[in-house]
Amino acid sequence: MKRRDFLKTAGVSAAALAMPGSMWAALSGLGADEIERRVKDLVAKMSLSEKIAQMHGNITAEHILVEIPLMSKRRFTWNTPADQRLGIPGIRSVDGPRGSALGQSTCFPAGICRGASWDRDLEERIGTAMGFETRAQGGNMHLSPCINLVRHPSGGRNQETFGEDTHHVGVMGVAQTAGIQRHVMACPKHYAANNQEGNRFSVNVRMSERVLREIYLPHFKKCVDAGAAGIMSAYNDLNGHLCGQNKHLCREILKEDWGFQGFVVSDWINAVDDAVAAAQAGLDLEMPAGAHYGGKLKRAVEAGLVPQSMIDESVTRLLRMKLKFISEDMKSGYDQGMVAGPGHTALAREAAAKGMVLLKNDNAALPLDRGKIRTVAVMGSLADVANIGDKGSSSVNPPYRISPLQGLRDRAGGVKIVHESGANLGRARQVARAADAVVVIAGATSKDEGEGGYGLGDRLDLNLHQQELDLIRAAAPETGRLIVVLEGGGAFTLEDWKDEAEAIVMAWYPGMEGGNALADLLFGDENFSGKLPVTFHRSEDQLPSFDNQAKEIEYDYYHGYRLFDKKGLEPLFPFGHGLSYTSYKYANLRLSAKSIGQSGKLKAMVDVTNVGDRAGEEIVQLYVGYNGSRVDRSVKDLKAFGRIKLEPGKTGTMELEVAAPELAYYDQEKGGWEVEEIEYIVYAGPSSRSSDLLQSTFKISGP
């Protein structure tokens, strides 16, 4: 899509479209050299106090006493001060990954639902819309994307991120970053290894350098390479140091090794406890106040504990991004009417429809054919709730929200929709018996999971609530068409009851338009195309250990599908799985070469045929395995994916590319990446565990 058309889709006015330059050119219109010249000039004019004022937030008592308790109705931005003397603007930052937290904005499906779309173009359009809404309402930095990895289904913030796999999360994170930065600064978070809420402020996560480099960091590196303005450090410790005071993470890897040009911002509550350690580690901005980066940092510089050069470096990074992204009148040309306007809410609906996953569909229970079905019973305590996610920092307050019941009613045509909460099992049985199909909406809400501190945090019980299990078991024998729609941030334990339902849909937290998208899919007006960005386990003993009270945890190389592959475990629904109302056949996997060099690229082509009778969009996945590696490797790693749209009977060729350096392992002894000269196995197909996975091999040798 051309940039101009792209921005139009996101509802950007003509004035904003007139912004000069390419995608990564400065929004302010200044060239890179001019920015560096101005930064240098400004830094030379600044006193130590002025510099330090740039390095921390200026939260006020009013924020703390009045606004923060009203998180869900947030109208304030998290600010850093402007410098009036030198004309330097302040940062006005806004959460977050589900949409703009300001005012009444578009509430998109939670990140995990969008992750299930595997649609980078869609995610870029969503990022563009989020950036637009934040800017139109006075922000200049959007605190997103959240690119934590889902390590275990219990993690309270799993809903905010895209999934369990570093490649997939990285690609989606880059897409959102690129979109946001069409309007404001983005801030990928939380760097790094932030996977649980129970004791997020104090847990020390331990891991080897290889695990860090290969599993927990590549998605951040991708966002840095894409030009992210900020990176937010995580609350937890990594290998004995708070992430924001972790010199290895922030200075050595992020800044020195990756060449990050932006600034490191601390997470919000007690993420810094030592000004000297933080400055030396490379933390540039303490938010939301200068608890350590105010007077304490100034005194540390005066006492010679922190060199002036470090302060200058931080200020340089902050000013560079301000000059790149902040212009004098940020709001000019940004039409308030487009905030949660029809363009953006349509995007929310598209994302929900593309992110919901059809896990099973026995006897073609779905779609519900309006010509054949007269009555649908909609049941469960979540049926008439628009369940949009937790109440933590990512919460968004949309002007309206559509529940499953409302969506189904509005789109029912001649079909009669009967609503039954399910609290009375006797009545539920009767209603189920009288209906042609039963839809039970079940799962988790903000009372079960979310960001720690705003609710329960981690979801320690992975089962559905007993009342929901009772309802499923009561309704099942009364109908031959039981459809269970699950909502929540990740996998549930389904093994015990999954056979009782003909169809199961994973709807996640589908956003303000969720009910409409669900109805579109259940009635077959839209086809399912979403696929799982996380593994659904059969039993909890298959999962990595999860102790959210531990003071220290060790992460090894394996979680998600890599763990299931390595241990030879059978998931209930594998990573990458998702059905649709049509089916696809894969054939003819061919590679562009039998051998490539260590810096070469390989193209894989695979033919996909829509062998059903409905149009659809298929997500094609490419994994790579290793033959004869000298180190322990995954059975296979996701390395590329794409979506292909196919009319019935049509065949299309999906072309996916892998670069040899992406196949390297990190040699901790040498302190560098090693692309091995061995044989690699390419797997291409519809999921990580499909019998349809096609295979081929190639070698890497020579430079």
Q: Which residues are catalytic?
A: 267
Amino acid identity for residue 39 in this structure = V
Q: Which stretch binds ligand BGC (CB under 6 A): 83-91, 266-274, 442-450, 511-519?
A: 266-274
In this complex, which beta carbon is closest to ligand BGC, that of residue 97 or of residue 510?
97
124 in contact with ligand BGC (CB under 6 A): no
Closest by CA position to 132, among listed 170, 186, 175, 174: 186
In this complex, which beta carbon is closest to ligand BGC, that of residue 119 or of residue 451?
451
Distance CA 317, CA 432 (A): 62
Minimum distance from residue 458 beta carbon to ligand BGC (Å): 14
268 in contact with ligand BGC (CB under 6 A): yes
Minimum distance from residue 270 beta carbon to ligand BGC (Å): 10
Minimum distance from residue 480 beta carbon to ligand BGC (Å): 45
CB 449 within 8 A of CB 156: yes
3-state helix, strand, coil in the chain (%, to 5): 30, 20, 50
Which positions ≥6 away from 364 have C-beta within 8 Å? none
Q: Which stretch binds ligand BGC (CB under 6 A): 33-41, 47-55, 264-272, 676-684?
A: 264-272
CB 616 within 8 A of CB 401: no
For the beta carbon of residue 582, count every other beta carbon within 10 angstroms.
Answer: 20
397 in contact with ligand BGC (CB under 6 A): no
111 in contact with ligand BGC (CB under 6 A): no
Residue tagged 């399910």 (tokens): 422
267 in contact with ligand BGC (CB under 6 A): yes
Distance CA 173, CA 700 (A): 29
List 381, 393, 479, 516, residue binding ligand BGC (CB under 6 A): 393
286 in contact with ligand BGC (CB under 6 A): no
167 in contact with ligand BGC (CB under 6 A): no
In this complex, which beta carbon is closest to ligand BGC, that of residue 287 or of residue 377?
287
70 in contact with ligand BGC (CB under 6 A): no
56 in contact with ligand BGC (CB under 6 A): no
571 in contact with ligand BGC (CB under 6 A): no
For the beta carbon of residue 517, count every other beta carbon within 10 angstroms.
Answer: 27
CB 374 within 8 A of CB 416: yes
In this complex, which beta carbon is closest to ligand BGC, that of residue 164 or of residue 267?
267
- How are beta strands 651-659 and 601-610 bridged, if at all? antiparallel
64 in contact with ligand BGC (CB under 6 A): no
Q: Compute how many residues bind ligand BGC; rule: CB under 6 A.
A: 8
143 in contact with ligand BGC (CB under 6 A): yes
Can you read off the two tokens belonging to residue 579? 């059905």
Helix ranges (H only) for 108-267 are 111-115, 120-136, 166-180, 209-211, 218-225, 247
536 in contact with ligand BGC (CB under 6 A): no
Distance CA 319, CA 45 (A): 13
Can you read off the two tokens belonging to residue 105? 């904005």
In this complex, which beta carbon is closest to ligand BGC, that of residue 23 or of residue 269?
269
Can you read off the two tokens belonging to residue 226? 């894409």
Q: What is the C-alpha radius of gyration for the chain, rounded to an integer number of angstroms?
A: 25
Minimum distance from residue 285 beta carbon to ligand BGC (Å): 13
In this complex, which beta carbon is closest to ligand BGC, that of residue 96 or of residue 515?
96
Q: Which stretch binds ligand BGC (CB under 6 A): 15-23, 84-92, 267-275, 458-466?
A: 267-275
130 in contact with ligand BGC (CB under 6 A): no
350 in contact with ligand BGC (CB under 6 A): no
Amino acid identity for residue 406 in this structure = Q
269 in contact with ligand BGC (CB under 6 A): yes
Shortest-Cβ-distance residue relative to ligand BGC? 393
In this complex, which beta carbon is closest to ligand BGC, that of residue 393 or of residue 406?
393
Minimum distance from residue 664 beta carbon to ligand BGC (Å): 31
96 in contact with ligand BGC (CB under 6 A): yes
Distance CA 672, CA 124 (A): 32
In this complex, which beta carbon is closest to ligand BGC, that of residue 143 or of residue 504?
143
244 in contact with ligand BGC (CB under 6 A): no
Distance CA 256, CA 258 (A): 6
In this complex, which beta carbon is closest to ligand BGC, that of residue 96 or of residue 139?
96
Query: Which parts of 76-95 interact with ligand BGC (CB under 6 A)?
Result: 95
Query: Which parts of 181-210 interact with ligand BGC (CB under 6 A)?
Result: 189
Amino acid identity for residue 350 in this structure = E
Element (H or E) spanning 275, and its range? helix 275-281
For the beta carbon of residue 546, count every other beta carbon within 10 angstroms.
Answer: 19
Minimum distance from residue 96 beta carbon to ligand BGC (Å): 5
Helix (H, G, I), strand (E, B) or coil at 170: helix
602-605 LR contacts (CB < 8 Å, sep 24+)? 602/657, 602/658, 602/659, 602/660, 602/682, 602/698, 603/655, 603/656, 603/657, 604/640, 604/655, 604/656, 604/657, 604/658, 604/682, 604/684, 604/696, 605/653, 605/654, 605/655
Minimum distance from residue 569 beta carbon to ligand BGC (Å): 32
Minimum distance from residue 95 beta carbon to ligand BGC (Å): 5
Minimum distance from residue 115 beta carbon to ligand BGC (Å): 17
Minimum distance from residue 451 beta carbon to ligand BGC (Å): 6
In this complex, which beta carbon is closest to ligand BGC, that of residue 55 or of residue 694?
55
Return residues touching ligand BGC (CB under 6 A).
95-96, 143, 189, 267-269, 393
